[in-house]
Amino acid sequence: MMKKIDIHLHVALEDCARIYNHVKFSGCAAMKEHLSQLGIVHAVIMSLEIQDDAMISNHAAAEIARRFPETYSWFCNIPTGVKEPYSYLKRMKEQGAKGLGEWVTHLPLTHPYMEEIMGACEDLELPILFHISPEPENQYGIIDEPGLFLLEEALKKFPRLMMIGHSQPFWYEISKNRTENEKERQGYPEGPVEAGGRLIDLMDHYPNLHGDLSANSGGNAIMRDPQFGLDFMEKYQDRLFFGTDMANISMEFPLGRWLDKKAETGKISKEAYSKICAKNACKRILKETMRNV
């Protein structure tokens, strides 16, 4: 089993009773032990758009990384309506942020404010890890339509910007789908992946698009059709990242153990396995070599 880097973790400065998006948050010390038990040697904290809570803010994420630099790095977030996104994000990078995420600002990707943020991140070399909203009425996640056509416009307009996709509506597009039903976009499809998925086309044409395999969304996309998932990981091994999307120590997602089993039985190449589990994160996000992976 290879030691892993988790590129998508939610954690609070201390145990946090507050519920955000229906989830409670464990403190960084307790989560550190939980990560160790799962074979995760380093994790990237996703800050939250709400910045008025000291436990889950940019400030908290930076402080956690300061306390436990061997275990945590962090992505910043940007509150909706910040008047000078470039200056704000530059300040976050100077404070140690490795990227922007989890980006959930509830506007279409083609909105001028969203494009200003993407342009700033491109100039500052800050990757964006984004969560797509399943429906216009849902206030959690950037807005795109079935087929991810707004994402394609962003990928074209900002070719030097690393964009890391996440959430059910993003991974829904791995298969050629028969419906554009919003409820199905929010779900976890079962059974074989049908050739012709829109996400495959985007991955083939836009090298700045990457995939976050965290949560049941990314995990399900890979595991629902095992041979397809293995082939997908081999083909795009340089642009995929292991993650969990955990927020408290009661959580554990199955993809990590599934990857380990496939590596042990030779179903996935050692090269693809090592890149997805840790090496891509070291090279592309942390931009350093970690001795313990």
pTM: 0.95
Separation CA 250–CA 282 (nearest Å)? 27
CA distances from 28 to 80, 123, 269 (A): 26, 31, 33
Cα dihedral 105, 109, 113, 117 sign: positive
* pLDDT score at 16: 74
Q: What angle is formed at CA 32 by the lines to CA 27 and CA 36, rounded to 5 degrees? A: 150
Mean pLDDT by 10 residues, the chain (293 residues): 96 80 88 97 92 82 96 95 95 98 94 97 98 76 93 98 97 84 80 95 98 98 98 98 96 96 98 98 87 68
Residues 6+ apart with CB under 8 A from 58: 47, 51, 74, 76, 77, 92, 95, 97
The pairing of beta strand 4-9 with beta strand 40-46: parallel
